[in-house]
Amino acid sequence: MNATVPVDGEHDGGCLCGYVRYVITERPIDAGFCHCRVCQRSSGAPSIAWLTVDVAGFAYTHGDVAVYRSSERSQREFCPRCGTQIAFRAIADAKTVDVTICSLDDSSRVRPEYHIWCESKADWLRIGDELPQYPDDGPDVT
Ligand SMILES: [Zn+2]
Ligand SMILES: [Zn+2]
């Protein structure tokens, strides 16, 4: 799945207010839009575009994120000052971390490859790209 997504090199990113900053130092494994209800509720938006990277390739460089356990097994990390959602990972033994693509300083460098959880897609949202759409978690590696 990684033919089109990742661009080599370091990626910097952060939240809206600038308190939380992070760096991605490994090539992302994959990337896609998630239309699940948890992403919708937690962002207030119809979907979130995520990239997935090995945990070793992601590090916060400034600020202390707030953590919300959004399910029994996973947590979401966000800026405690401005609320920007930054990351998603397993609570225990996370091998990968998902990072919100639009919190990158240059979101054009990682391109989504698919849409997942389309069974809960907002019914007024018209997907205009040619990417594959999956009703469930599809090829997501997390
Ligand atoms: Zn912030
Ligand atoms: Zn989701």
Number of structural domains in the chain: 1
pTM tops 0.75, yes or no: yes
Q: Is residue 93 included in any domain, yes or no? A: yes
Tokens for 77?
A: 């990390």
Q: Is residue 44 included in any domain, yes or no? A: yes
pLDDT reported for residue 29: 94
Tokens for 56?
A: 């070793």
* Nearest ligand to residue 20 Cα: 1
Output b/e per residue, 30-57; b: 16+ Cβ within 10 A: bbbbbbbebbbebbeeebbbbbbbbeeb
Mean of pLDDT values over 44-71: 97
Q: Is residue 70 included in any domain, yes or no? A: yes
Q: Is residue 45 included in any domain, yes or no? A: yes
Which backbone phi and psi does 50 adopt, to 5 degrees? -115, 150
Q: Is residue 105 included in any domain, yes or no? A: yes
Mean pLDDT, the chain, rounded, equals 93
Tokens for 73?
A: 């097994």
Calculate how far, in angstroms, residue 87's C-alpha sits from the geometric centre of ligand 1: 13
Calculate how far, in angstroms, residue 132's C-alpha sits from the geometric centre of ligand 1: 33
Q: Which residues pair with 11 in a beta bridge?
A: 24
Going by the DSSP 8-state scheme, the letter that residue 129 receives in this structure is S
Confidence at 9, pLDDT banded by 50, 70, 90: confident
Q: Is residue 87 included in any domain, yes or no? A: yes
Neighbours of ion ligand 2 (CB under 5 A): 34, 36, 39
Q: Is residue 126 included in any domain, yes or no? A: no
Q: Is residue 75 included in any domain, yes or no? A: yes
Confidence at 4, pLDDT banded by 50, 70, 90: very low
E strands, 6-129, are 11-14, 21-24, 30-34, 48-54, 58-62, 66-69, 74-78, 85-90, 96-100, 115-116
Give the structural domain span for 105. 11-120
Calculate how far, in angstroms, residue 52's C-alpha sits from the geometric centre of ligand 2: 13
What CATH number is associated with residue 57?
Answer: 2.170.150.70
> Given a cut of 70, is residue 114 above it in pLDDT?
yes
* Nearest ligand to residue 65 Cα: 1
Calculate how far, in angstroms, residue 96's C-alpha sits from the geometric centre of ligand 2: 15
> Given a cut of 80, is residue 8 above it in pLDDT?
no
- Better-scored residue on pLDDT, 55 or 7: 55
* Nearest ligand to residue 88 Cα: 2
